[in-house]
Amino acid sequence: MYRVLHSLSDEVLARMSEAGKKRVREEFSERKMAERLDAEIEKMVQTKERGRNGLLQMGVLAISLGVLGLVTAAGLGKVVRKDTV
């Protein structure tokens, strides 16, 4: 961590910053999160097996809904502040 914070050049840090922002935009957009949630719900609907597997899937659904809610509430574009980059 020290190396990242203190020894990398401004150019390298800028590239890392842009790569991180790009990944967040691509992987955690409202659309991507909704697609993941839909996929989980579809798996649950198709699963005929109940019991422990069903409980696990319900937990995944609850966590997915929570994450989607947090991302939406945070307004994804506001997560990275310009003055910290």
Boundaries of every domain in the chain: 2-84
Whole-angstrom Cα distance, residue 61 to residue 64?
Answer: 5
Q: 46-69, pLDDT tens digit by residue?
A: 765 555 566 777 788 888 888 887
Q: 1-14, pLDDT tens digit by residue?
A: 776 678 888 898 89
pTM: 0.44
Residue 20 has pLDDT above 90, yes or no: yes
CA distances from 15 to 1, 11, 59, 65 (A): 17, 6, 37, 32
- The conformation of residue 51, written as its DSSP 8-state character, comes to T
Residue 18 has pLDDT above 70, yes or no: yes
